[in-house]
Amino acid sequence: MKRPSGRAADQLRSIRITRNYTKHAEGAVLVEFGDTKVVCTASVEAGVPRFLKGQGQGWLTAEYGMLPRATGSRNQREASRGKQGGRTLEIQRLIGRSLRAALDMSKLGENTLYIDCDVIQADGGTRTASITGAMVALVDALAVLKKRGALKGGNPLKQMVAAVSVGMYQGEAVLDLDYLEDSAAETDLNVVMTDAGGFIEVQGTAEGAPFQPEELNAMLALAQAGMQELFAVQQAALAD
């Protein structure tokens, strides 16, 4: 089996995280998984949704979008269609769930963190890139909250979170699928984990024949190994 990119089965694409990518948001990151590029911003607003008012805890919510020419042909803006598509809603809910798992909301105070992930170029793995990059933007936003004196209960950050795709391609488990692999994979899995080794979410779909338990174990093992590299990239970016 030869991957279209020439990478080894257990090899990530080139990963880059650039902080302070834009100047207005409390956290702003450009994350690159190979040719997939996503701008992730974390914005802070005082106050929480109505269902949380008076409880002394915060909230995090996420939105996701793809620019019209992020792909090979122009996609119509969802705003011009009047509603978001099912894929968009699914991905932004995944991003929100994943990043909320990184926080102790009781220490956030009555503040809301808005995570925006905008894909400017897509080549597979946009949701996993979004989660991995947005985590770094989130850490930067928490630092701003601390500097403002808005965190009265200590650091809300419990753990780091990252995500990566794995799949079965031509009968072999491979890590971090690009578009050519993703579009031809027999099985596609998205894995979200903490830096302590816990799983937050595993999304898996058999595109052809059902995958077997040993294939699932092989894919999860690849994801776990790749995740350690992603956490190292996050920490290196935050150390700059």
SS3 22: coil
Q: DSSP label at 157?
A: B
Mean pLDDT by 10 residues, the chain (240 residues): 93 98 98 98 93 90 95 88 89 97 94 97 97 98 94 92 97 96 94 97 91 96 98 96
For 86-212, where are the alpha helices, taking DSSP H only?
86-100, 126-147, 179-184
Predicted pLDDT of residue 197: 95
d(CA 227, CA 200): 13
CA distance 127 to 89: 12
**Rounded to two decimals, what is the model's pTM?**
0.96
Q: What pLDDT does 153 receive?
A: 81
Q: Hey, which residues does 199 pair with through a beta bridge?
A: 193
Q: How far apart are CA 124 and CA 73, in angstroms?
A: 15
Q: Would you state the structure tokens that stand for residue 172, as one six-digit string?
A: 């072999």
The pair of three-digit structure tokens given for residue 136, joined into one six-digit string = 């770094």
pLDDT of residue 21: 98
In Å, what is the CA distance from 103 to each residue of 8, 63, 143, 155?
Answer: 35, 18, 13, 9
For residue 75, what are its two tokens? 């996609």
What contacts 205, CB < 8 A, 6 or more positions away? 187, 188, 189
CA–CA separation, 131 and 150 (whole Å)? 25
Is 59 strand, coil or helix? strand
Token pair for 64: 């996701």
